[in-house]
Amino acid sequence: MIRPVTELETPRFLMRPLRRSDLAALFPTMSDEAHALYLTRPAFASHTELWQWLAAPDWPGRTWIAEDRESGALAGRFVAVPTGREGVEEIGYITCIERLGQGVARECTAALVRHLFDTGTRKIVAEVDTRNTPSVRLLETLGFTREAHLREHEETHAGMCDVYLYGLLASEARA
């Protein structure tokens, strides 16, 4: 079942479905080796390769693009992916290079979390490379609990990685 991507609004951003025209704005971030370090795959080498990944027809997740409401510039990509467990979704996010340090991930991830809980998700999880300090800080700021430290859990283009597993329950978010 394909679930629709509902537009979300934050004070600074419109979070909307992915469009092919977003490719040019996302490519500088997704092709940058340093910025793509914590992706599960290497940085993208071409627009075609990136679009095939973003728009893969067999990918079960949903993508929101954060668009600056004032300038129209793209600020990041946010995703929710069913885990296969009833009521549990995994989130992910990447902020565009030119918007790093501006609170984009915090504002938009918080909006996505609210939306998921408001629409029936009971638990949200996130897997984070243990070296990704900004992502760890973001999740903890949003109230996520570190539920596990999985050692040498995932092999990526960056080698074997330790992963933290974070979780947030709907009941905790409402408290």
Digit-coded pLDDT (tens) for 3-31: 689 999 999 999 999 999 999 999 999 99
What does the alpha-carbon distance between residue 70 and residue 132 come to, in Å, rounded to a whole number? 30
Digit-coded pLDDT (tens) for 82-115: 999 999 999 999 999 999 888 999 999 999 999 9
CA 174 to the chain's CA centroid = 22
What's the whole-number average pLDDT of the chain?
Answer: 92
- With a CB cutoff of 8 Å and minimum separation 6, the contacts of 169 are 122, 123
Q: What is the pTM of this model?
A: 0.93
Average pLDDT in the 133-160 region? 89
The CATH class given to the 8-174 domain equals alpha beta
Report domain extents, the chain.
Answer: 8-174
Number of H helices, E strands in the chain: 5, 8
Cβ proximity of 73 and 79 under 8 Å: no
